[in-house]
Structure 1
């Protein structure tokens, strides 16, 4: 079964310094039909003005992933991590029993664009954690998150996998789905055919009760594939 979440139908927030598009219900945007998908709770597509950002705030029992699309994030948290996250890198913050952090556009001239993604953990409490890595831009599937850190991936506190997909124009990628698993695919750029369903940038698709997919790039495509319980 396939259910497309079109980019144009996402929730919107405009705070002047922040322009955000919400795939699922978040903050003042509420849609009872869009409360997340399996363990995937938030995908926010954020644009932050130069020098602006999110002041110190807290999280608890959430796995928070950031992927910078352009610009740089200046990150600081209560666990003592002070980092710069450049475009292309992934950052995973495990909130555990509780953590405070701030995120700012590190540039005073250029806009910051990034994806903020939340996954619900399968364990409560525990020490907060921080991981950051550049996985490169290799064609095909690259494992980004896993519960056991396999193949150099970041370790996620949930029985879920995240892959980065890069496909040149007209190229295909197959993906096998284990019994009982669900997929969510978010298209970052390009055009992607998912088993006959056409996605444009910002679109996503919920997939359940399927065993395999063929993914075909119309134009060169970059996407995230969440393999969920």
Structure 2
């Protein structure tokens, strides 16, 4: 088994006043040659946006983009005419493909919002841009893994143009969860949203992460009540 640890206090950080952003991988003005990507997982930003503020219209292409709101709500608009509000327990997916222009603003004028912005390399370039969004019941991830993105849209999950799985879990202290690779060539990246766990002989606390490759099974021990996001992605050469 190979593992890589990303500690919460060792991420890139940018404070723009209206936006405070933690970058797990190289992004914008943060560059670390050892942190370019984990397989097909290219960007993992932990963003805090002040009320009434946000990202003005900007373009993307040839990237699969996922937004998961942890607190508050974000308002999305794009050049296809799509206008949505993404709330806590919502997951948004956007295939940029040949090109899309969108904006993201805090939907509240007064309350801060916190969301995860995640980019995944697509398995095919220059596809037709696509948008989808779904609300997932938090009760369905109590002491289990709730799949919210999968290649075949299993059990109402969303899909990306990549062989990847996103799963959310909310576990009580004392629980144990066994993780196994989805298929050959897949690595697992676990981001601890809140709490404390032990995995692969490493203790992780809030906002720590671990990447695992070349393993058959690993057990996650929940030390303190924990919420986490598990991303399974192809490991690129």
With structure 2 as the length reference, what TM-score do the two structures score?
0.94
What's the counterpart of residue 225 of structure 2? Answer: 220
Match of 1:196 among 185, 195, 201: 201
Root mean square deviation of aligned Cα: 1.0
In the alignment, the residues of structure 2 paired with residue 167 and residue 214 of structure 1 have an alpha-carbon distance, to the nearest angstrom, of 14
In the alignment, the residues of structure 1 paired with residue 107 and residue 136 of structure 2 have an alpha-carbon distance, to the nearest angstrom, of 21
SS across alignment from 2:111: coil
Number of residues of Structure 1 aligned to a counterpart in Structure 2: 229
| 1:196 to partner: Cα distance | 2.2
In the alignment, the residues of structure 2 paired with residue 53 and residue 159 of structure 1 have an alpha-carbon distance, to the nearest angstrom, of 31
What's the counterpart of residue 164 of structure 2? Answer: 160
What's the counterpart of residue 134 of structure 2? Answer: 133
In the alignment, the residues of structure 2 paired with residue 181 and residue 50 of structure 1 have an alpha-carbon distance, to the nearest angstrom, of 38
| 1:217 to partner: Cα distance | 1.2
SS across alignment from 1:8: helix
- Once the two structures are overlaid, the 10-residue window that deviates more, 204-213 or 30-39, is 204-213
SS across alignment from 2:38: coil
What's the counterpart of residue 59 of structure 1? Answer: 60
SS across alignment from 1:219: strand
What's the counterpart of residue 206 of structure 1? Answer: 211
With structure 1 as the length reference, what TM-score do the two structures score?
0.97
Gaps in structure 1 of 5+ consecutive residues:
none
Gaps in structure 2 of 5+ consecutive residues:
none
